Amino acid sequence: MIVGAAGGDEAAWRAAIGEVEALPLVFHPTCNWRVNPRGTKREREVIEAAVKLLREAHPYVN
């Protein structure tokens, strides 16, 4: 999704996104996952925008 919209290398974006962390539903009832993006300000902004879109479609992970 990000590579198609922002360009760049898929491996570099994966590294900037980092691991997807599953959270307990009891404490996070509206969405049970998060990422801790790294990289430049622009990269973090792109990742946060993608996360917002993905959470709307996929709020829960196993």
Overall number of domains in the chain: 1
Answer whether residue 62 shows pLDDT above 90. no
Q: Decide if 30 is inside a domain.
A: yes
Q: Decide if 62 is inside a domain.
A: no
Cα Rg for the chain, rounded, in angstroms? 12
Identify the bridge partners of residue 22 per DSSP, sorted by sequence position: 33
Cβ pair 20, 61 in contact under 8 A: yes
To which residue do tokens 């879109």 refer? 53
Neighbouring CB atoms inside 10 A of 47's CB total 21
Residue numbers of the domain that contains 51: 2-57
pTM of the model: 0.87
Q: Decide if 41 is inside a domain.
A: yes
pLDDT tens digit sequence for 13-60: 999 999 999 999 999 899 999 999 999 999 999 999 999 999 999 999
